[in-house]
Amino acid sequence: MMKRKDQREEDTWRLEDLFETDELWEKELSAVESALPVLTGFAGRLGNSAGELKEALDYFYGLYTRLDRLVVYASQRSDEDTGNGFYQDMKMRVQSLAVRAQEAAAFLVPEILGLEEMQVQQWLREDRGLALYGRALQDMMRKKSHVLSREQEELLSSAREVGQSSNIFNVMNNADLKFPSVKDENGEEIPVTHGSYVRLLESRDRSVRKAAFESVYGTYGQFGNTLAATFAANVKEAAFFAKARRYSSARAYFLDDANVPEQVYDSLISSVHQNLPALHDYVALRKKLLGTDELHMYDVYVPVVDVPDKKYSFEEAKQVVFDGLEPLGDEYRSILKEGYENRWIDIYENEGKRSGAYSWGAYGTHPYVLLNYQENLNDVFTLAHEMGHAIHSYYSGGNQPAVYAEYKIFVAEVASTCNEALLIRYLLKKSGDAEERKYLLNHFLEKFRGTLFRQTQFAEFELKAHEKEAKGETLTFEALCSLYLDINQKYFGPSMEEDQEIGREWARIPHFYTPFYVYQYATGFSAAIALSDKILEEGQTAVEKYKEFLKGGCSKDPIDLLKTAGVDLSTPEPVDRALKVFRELLEEFKSLI
């Protein structure tokens, strides 16, 4: 596999837009470290006047903007090659500084909550500068019962540095785990990596799929006890912080950050359960089309229609995405083009590079996108997906002050999956070939299966794992595999063989280390289906409402932001509507075959 130093510059992201050199990063790290005592110097003064409260908040958000840039630079340098000790050290040092910054700021929220609410309201009316922070101050008041004393907040901030389960998993998963190679259709030895795994599962040769499946899950099985202990530590950490902040559960704690009712989570699982017969129908159809007596989990990704494998160079992928997003208008696509031309994107896999794909950035600079591009249609959609994140951040950061620029995770997947929904509709509309249309319909059905169904399956597993911990049950490797296998079988239904290896799948899912995150892929996908329908049906009017949502950051609760664009996720309607589309697509697919 290619080493990082051998990547072409034009195929890599330009992190110099954050810091031109590592030396400048070091200088800024020292400067931010030196600024922490200034922040603590505001302690005890917030109640003196509106002016002092505003000055403290200005300094806090200014300092955290600088710290955020430090974190993003070090983390993304480390992600270029997770085996690079120099950047691993940088990442760990800035993470340590971030913990100390949390400690320095620990007085802020408790002291604000100690102020008389009537006094704060009066200051907000009288001081236009402080009024900028009105929503943030009101959100603090909403969480008043969950905020601790200054000393306790400092202790909680320090405790975060102890919990390193996420870092342990990431290093082990990306730098240390090595999978046995397999032979491809031509008998040639092929390395199995995080980046190549799905591509191998798409192989027409079943023996290749099976070998790749066993290579990956056999390896995870060898480290099962360690991975279970790491996962369990993360679950216990979530429970600890939830209890410390007086929440009834870890789920209640994590959902409250965006003021999302727990009923939204339960309603999602309930709606999907009611529609599992449609998924079982699709799985049974897949088995029939593959013409196999038994359907295994390694048969899930291979296309079930006979069309030539088509490869997309990255240049072709960029053009397809650009054309597919035409309904979003010239302004939106000009931002997309800027990202293409100004090296926002790190494109190809290299040895030690973090697996998967993401978009990230710091306030005041453009966003970045990490890919491990493999030239297949799935990765074309990944480009559209991650650029959706990036452009959401671009709009949000360009239209909101630092205090409201970072949108909540609950809406983080809406823009990305809206891009995907528009792209698949473009490709279906463009296709005049019946065989190609079958392929695209299969691909769209797979998006539903892989996002709405699969992420809800993950969410159900995560909820039950956390509930087990809350009951005092031990999260052993065997217990976690058994739980996961049972849920997997419920979702895939009677046509799927019970492959024991798939019980280990939980062990390779990085998002479980951000507790109660994955359900938002499913709710976001549902919102994206609704929004893409509105954009295609209503045109510019819907586009303008959608862009207002993109510009909103966290200036409103995320459910309220989506309502402004015409989608209400406080009801089951968007999820039920998306599942109805799945059933309609499935019927069209059946009619074509």
Please list, residue by residue across 472-487, b when 16 or more beta carbons sit within 10 angstroms of its beta carbon and e when fewer do.
eeebebeebbebbbeb
Question: Is 90 exceeded by the pLDDT of residue 313?
Answer: yes
Least confident stretch, 86-90, 160-164, 396-400, 551-555: 160-164
pLDDT score recorded for residue 150: 77
pLDDT in tens, 116-138: 889 999 999 999 999 999 999 99
Is 386 catalytic? The answer is yes
Q: Are residues 113 and 140 in contact, defined by beta-carbon separation less than 8 angstroms?
A: yes
Kindly state the average pLDDT of the residues 249-255. 96
pLDDT in tens, 203-214: 999 999 999 999
pLDDT score recorded for residue 473: 97
pLDDT score recorded for residue 398: 97
pLDDT score recorded for residue 440: 86
Render 378-426 in DSSP notation, one character per residue: HHHHHHHHHHHHHHHHHHHHHHS-GGG-S--GGGTTHHHHHHHHHHHHH
Kindly name the residue from 80, 103, 214, 386 that is annotated as catalytic. Answer: 386
Q: Are residues 137 and 404 in contact, defined by beta-carbon separation less than 8 angstroms?
A: no
In sequence order, the 6+-apart residues with CB closer than 8 A to the CB of 102 are 157, 160
pLDDT score recorded for residue 57: 98
Both structure tokens of 272: 């999907």
Alpha carbon distance 489, 562 (integer Å) = 34
Please list, residue by residue across 338-360, b when 16 or more beta carbons sit within 10 angstroms of its beta carbon and e when fewer do.
ebbeebbbbbbbbbbbbbebebb
Q: What are phi and psi of 29, to 5 degrees?
A: -60, -45
Q: Are residues 404 and 139 in contact, defined by beta-carbon separation less than 8 angstroms?
A: no
In sequence order, the 6+-apart residues with CB closer than 8 A to the CB of 578 are 448, 452, 525, 526, 529, 530
For CA atoms 100, 101, 104, 105, the dihedral sign is negative
Query: pLDDT category, 377, cuts 50, 70, 90?
Result: confident
Question: Is 90 exceeded by the pLDDT of residue 306?
Answer: no
Residue matched to tokens 């954009």: 535
Q: Which helix (H) or strand (E) holds 190?
A: strand 189-192
Kindly state the average pLDDT of the residues 293-300. 96
Alpha carbon distance 299, 276 (integer Å) = 19
Q: Mean pLDDT of all residues in the chain?
A: 94
Residue matched to tokens 């205090």: 403
Query: pLDDT category, 307, cuts 50, 70, 90?
Result: low
Question: Is 90 exceeded by the pLDDT of residue 442?
Answer: no
Q: Are residues 101 and 63 in contact, defined by beta-carbon separation less than 8 angstroms?
A: yes
**368-370 vs 345-346, strand pairing mode:** parallel
CA-based nearest residue to 367, from 70, 8, 18: 18
Maximum CA extent, the chain: 76
Q: Are residues 398 and 511 in contact, defined by beta-carbon separation less than 8 angstroms?
A: no
Kindly state the average pLDDT of the residues 556-564. 94
Kindly state the average pLDDT of the residues 438-443. 86
Residues of the chain above pLDDT 90, percent: 81
Alpha carbon distance 336, 367 (integer Å) = 11
Alpha carbon distance 509, 227 (integer Å) = 11
Kindly state the average pLDDT of the residues 239-243. 95
Q: Are residues 159 and 151 in contact, defined by beta-carbon separation less than 8 angstroms?
A: no
Q: What predicted TM-score, i.e. pTM, was given to this entire model?
A: 0.80
pLDDT score recorded for residue 160: 78
CA-based nearest residue to 100, from 42, 29, 149: 29
Render 243-275 in DSSP notation, one character per residue: HHTT-SSHHHHHHHTTT--HHHHHHHHHHHHHT
Q: Are residues 196 and 375 in contact, defined by beta-carbon separation less than 8 angstroms?
A: no
Angle at Cα 230 formed by Cα 270 and Cα 411, nearest 5°? 40
Query: pLDDT category, 570, cuts 50, 70, 90?
Result: confident
Please list, residue by residue across 126-143, b when 16 or more beta carbons sit within 10 angstroms of its beta carbon and e when fewer do.
ebeebebbeebbeebeee
Alpha carbon distance 309, 377 (integer Å) = 9
Alpha carbon distance 208, 553 (integer Å) = 45
Cβ atoms within 10 Å of 578's Cβ, excluding its own:
25
Q: What is the 3-state secondary structure (H, E, C) of 123-144?
A: HHHHCHHHHCCHHHHHHHHHCH
Report the residue count for the chain: 593
pLDDT score recorded for residue 409: 84
Kindly state the average pLDDT of the residues 187-216. 93
Alpha carbon distance 516, 514 (integer Å) = 7
pLDDT in tens, 141-175: 888 888 888 788 888 888 877 778 988 999 999 88
The neighbouring-strand residues paired with 190 are 182
pLDDT score recorded for residue 328: 98
